[in-house]
Each structure stands twice: as structure tokens, then as C-alpha cells.
Amino acid sequence: MNDEFILRLRKAFDNASMAVVARRLGIPHATVRNYYQGRLPAPEVLIKIATETGVSLNWLLIGTGDMYAGQSPPVGLGKFIEAKIAEMIDQRIAALESGVTDLGTIDEFDVEAALAALDDPQQVMSDWFAFEKREYPKDFGVVFFRGWESFSAEEKIAAINDAKRVLDRSLAD
């Protein structure tokens, strides 16, 4: 239970150093160190912690209920600015997302099915380009397909994909 109290105490002071906690509470540093080592504060110190941080005594002592007693935690200027920036970013993202419509999915060319039906790399490439509404270059070398008859099914698919990548790159330039 004391370990949980220590975690709640740290959280109440936003992980401030023991020196800062001692200064805020107006008690000796050694006393605060005792609390961080597991000793529970006296009732008047617990009330002082709750008053200083705005946390609920129930939450501080046993970890139940809301962390803050009926109000929001005191917010420093830095945290306030961060919260406002996050809010502005969220609003901008929401505005951008509302303009995006679902364009659906784009069908992909099924290399495996074409290969099974045709077993001709030149025809598969030609069909793939036609599927993309592009013209297959007639002067494309057959370097990728040498030894086609000895390729396994996986090697044939890999050769076609490699050839397609090379063509896409060279045609893009």
C-alpha cells in the first residue's frame, strides 16, 4: 500500500523533486524524504498536500475516486499553453479529415493468376501494363526471363515483379 501512496504522492506533485515538494509544503526535506520512503504523513500534512495540489484525500490515501476533488488541477502556464496547442492541432486535423472522402480500394493485378493462366512472362507483363492502362514497351529485353522453363513458380513470380519494378523506374525517368 505504501508503494502505491508514494506513486500517488509523486503524481500529485507532477513528479517534482523532494526539495520542491518540501518547499511547497513548508516542511523539512528530510520529512518529505521519509514520505517517499514509505512513511505515511500525519493527518495535518495530508490535508496540506491535498490543499496544495488540489487532489482528493480519498484518492491520495487509498487511490479511489477522482484524483481531483471536484475541480481541475491547478494548471501552470506551460501546461496551459501545451493544452491549447494540442486543442488547436486537434481542431485542424478534424477539419482536414472532414474533407477527405473514402475513395474505396484500388484493385491490384493478380500476377499469380495471370501466370497460372498464361505461363508466358511477356504476355503477363503486357496484361499487367494493360490493367494499369499503360502500354507495354515492345523493345523490353528478355534478360529477366532467360531460363524461364527451369524457374519454380515462386521464381517466375519474383522475375515478373523484378522486371515490373525495373520498367516502372525506367519509364518514370
* CATH at residue 48: 1.10.260
CA 152, CA 149: separation in Å to the nearest integer? 8
- The pLDDT of residue 61 is 87
In 10 A of CB 146, how many CB atoms?
10
Spatial CA neighbour of 61 closest among 42, 80, 76: 42
Domain boundary among 27, 47, 62: 62
CA 41, CA 25: separation in Å to the nearest integer? 12
Does any domain span residue 67? no
In 10 A of CB 12, how many CB atoms?
22
Domain boundary among 23, 45, 62: 62
Task: Write out the three cell numbers for 104.
Answer: 474505396
- How many residues in total does the chain contain? 173
- Phi and psi at 68, nearest 5°, equal -105, 140
Work out the pLDDT band at 17, boundaries 50, 70, 90.
very high
pLDDT digits (tens, 9 = 90+) for 66-89: 888 765 556 677 777 888 888 888
Our count of domains for the chain comes to 2
Q: Is the pLDDT of residue 28 over 60?
A: yes
Does any domain span residue 27? yes
Does any domain span residue 55? yes
Q: Which residue has the higher pLDDT, 106 or 16?
A: 16
Domain boundary among 62, 80, 99: 62
Domain encompassing residue 131: 111-172
CA 145, CA 158: separation in Å to the nearest integer? 10
Does any domain span residue 89? no
Does any domain span residue 83? no
Does any domain span residue 43? yes
- The pLDDT of residue 164 is 84
> What's the mean pLDDT when you consider all of the chain?
83
- The pLDDT of residue 15 is 92
Tell me the β-bridge partners of 68: 55
